[in-house]
Copies of this chain bind each other. A is one copy, B any other.
């Protein structure tokens, strides 16, 4: 569940989790879970038509997966997926929610006359116990660029513990995409950064003049802090399809039935993209994801559904895309090739945030290859 209101506070938490390493639960709550306890935040996600349509259709167009079956909704929030599962004919639905939002989910279930089917359980999925294994695990766990927030870890743990050997995952598959983009943001952010440094230099001068303290030794760390903030932190953006200037490439494919937490600790790929616009600027890369509701080989969906967060005019989502900006942008042309070495790992300070190494190399259509450029980014 990507969230404009952050969903994760990027403070320097001393707890960290990396595929099993200890996460301080109280800190995790203060940094992460707490925003989901607000109805305003739930409403934001419930108002995302594309998201709602995809899950709604995935359930109601595949009732055979639900009728008379048992379902687990991981991170039920307001309870919407649990309610739909029950309305689609489930025998029993366990709706697990870590925050006090569980109280509202319980109210909502009752108000929709489904309390005999849906049981709301407040707690972390890692800690709670169910009386039985389930036929379906349904969850909306996706963060910005799919894995921000690392909520999928919890779904995998739930699957390994509570899904029957014949059970089905909703969604069943996920993919991460990357494409070269053009964007005015690159110039804007550089301009903001430069303005910020101009202001800093004025500040250093004044502090020396009026207060007798020489702050120039802090110029370097200040500029690094601001560079990170303005130039290296990935941005939420709602890209227009015209901003995609080359063929999108798949960075990662996930089978939600078999993937392990180990598999998603690191996303590493070497991909290639062909520029598809004449005489344009490569200002950065846009990252997004899609998920599919296909069921499983032994028990497929009758009607497969796709939820994509690719740049779109009419069908944008609250996830937007994550934008990694280059400084400076590079002039490119139709048929130039951009080769990207992409590597994303979890931040040591906060396992729900990411570090990205993105190196690109441009091979011009003339055959000349430009020197590779390496960049570090942060998904906060």
- Contact bitstring A61-102, B, C-beta under 8 A = 1, else 0: 000000000000000001010011001000000000000100
Q: Are the C-beta atoms of A29 and B14 separated by less than 8 Å?
A: yes
Note all chain B residues with C-beta closer than 8 A to A216: 111
Nearest B residue to A208 via CB reads: B112
The reply to whether A218 and B108 contact each other, CB–CB distance below 8 Å, is yes
Q: Identify which of A31-39, A134-142, A182-190, A238-246 touches chain B.
A: A31-39
Q: Is A20 an interface residue (CB 8 A)?
A: no
Q: Which residue of B lies closest to A33 (CB)?
A: B11
Q: Is the CB of A26 within 8 A of B40?
A: no
In the assembled complex, which residues on chain B have CB atoms less than 8 Å from the CB atom of A35? 11
- Contact A213/B40 with A13-B30, A30-B31, A107-B218 known, Cβ cut-off 8 Å: no
Decide if A56 is an interface residue (CB 8 Å cutoff).
yes
A46 to B206 Cα, complex, angstroms: 11
Beta-carbon contact of A217 and B30 below 8 Å = no
- A contact residues, total (Cβ < 8 Å): 52
Contact call B24/A26, Cβ cutoff below 8 A? yes
Q: How many copies does the complex hold?
A: 2
Nearest-Cβ distance from residue A294 to partner chain B, whole angstroms: 22
B9 and A15 contacting across the interface, CB-CB below 8 Å? no
Report the nearest B residue to A200, measured CB to CB.
Answer: B43
Of A100, A110, A212, most B-chain CB atoms within 10 Å: A212
Q: Which of A172-180, A219-227, A266-274, A306-314 contacts B (4 or more CB under 8 A)?
A: A219-227
- Assembled-state Cα–Cα distance A52/B215 (Å): 14
Q: Is the beta-carbon distance between B213 and A83 smaller than 8 angstroms?
A: yes
Complex Cα distance A162/B213, Å? 27
Q: Measured between C-beta atoms, what is the minimum distance from A51 to chain B in Å?
A: 11
- The CA-CA distance from A111 to B213 in the complex, in Å, is 9
CB contact between A9 and one of B9, B200, B203, B215 (< 8 Å): that residue: B9
Which of A30, A31, A217, A222 gathers most chain B CB within 10 Å?
A: A30
Can you name 20 A-B pairs with beta carbons within 8 Å? A9-B9, A9-B30, A11-B29, A11-B31, A13-B34, A26-B26, A27-B27, A27-B29, A27-B30, A30-B30, A39-B222, A40-B225, A43-B200, A46-B207, A56-B211, A78-B218, A108-B213, A110-B217, A112-B213, A112-B214
Interface residues of A (CB under 8 A from B): 9, 11-15, 24, 26-27, 29-31, 34-35, 37-40, 43, 46-47, 52, 56, 78, 80, 83-84, 87, 100, 104, 107-108, 110-112, 200, 203, 207, 210-218, 221-222, 225-226, 229
Contacts A9-B30, A52-B211, A80-B211 aside, 8 further interface pairs with beta carbons under 8 A come to A12-B100, A14-B26, A39-B221, A40-B222, A52-B210, A56-B210, A78-B215, A84-B211
